[in-house]
Amino acid sequence: MTNIKQNMVSAPRQKLRRYGLIGIAVLFMAAAGLLVNYYGFRPQNADTGTQVLLHRFRVNPVKTKVHLYFADPGERFLTAEDRMISQPGSVVDRARRIVSALIDGPEGPLTPTVPPETRLLALYVTQDGTAYADFDRAITEKHPGGTYSELLTIFSITNTLALNLPEIQAVKILIEGREAKTLAGHIDIRFPFRPNMLMIK
């Protein structure tokens, strides 16, 4: 009889304890849900996580100021236009960026010196500091011609490379991988050119 009474008394206590544990679990889950919503802790795959990290720690490419030499509006001399370009690691990559900017033409009132249709096919620099710049045939076929116009083109390329990159001492112009006699029939380009400061004003 005593055991029966004890069982009858303990049964409600066990139920209360069980319900209490369930209630605590529900409250814990609710609190966890609030934290997730508040702080935005959402599961993400590895790719998403990588993208987030790359976005947070992305480093802007270093830019440097270069002087691009274009012709003045009267095409009598060369004058510099300052331009900010990204700074790749190697001298060859920097030279390619500079020549590409020169082909794109001036942003101000100056006159282009290289036909805009021109493509730079290749560029390399030898140990003695000579840069070989290989262009497609547009640099000759689209060239306006004339002795002085050819000089402006030659020294626009030469001065822009040599005066911005100390690793380059001279520039030789190639046409589609081959040595050419002239750009447009006047100036012999079969040898490298060194920068000409007399062309600059």
pTM (predicted TM-score)? 0.71
For residue 95 the two structure tokens come to 């030279």
DSSP secondary structure string, 94-135?
HHHHHHHHHHH--SSS-B-SS-TT--EEEEEE-TTSEEEEEE
Output the CA torsion 9→11→16→21 (10° steps): 140
Query: How remote is the C-alpha of 69 from its chain's centroid?
Result: 22
Per-residue pLDDT of the chain (201 residues; tens, 9 = 90+): 444 444 444 444 555 455 555 555 545 555 555 444 444 444 344 444 444 443 444 556 688 999 999 999 999 999 999 999 887 789 999 999 999 999 999 999 999 999 999 999 999 999 999 999 999 999 999 999 999 999 999 999 999 999 999 999 999 999 999 999 999 999 999 999 999 999 999
Q: Give the whole-angstrom CA distance, residue 186 versus residue 184.
A: 6
SS3 178: strand
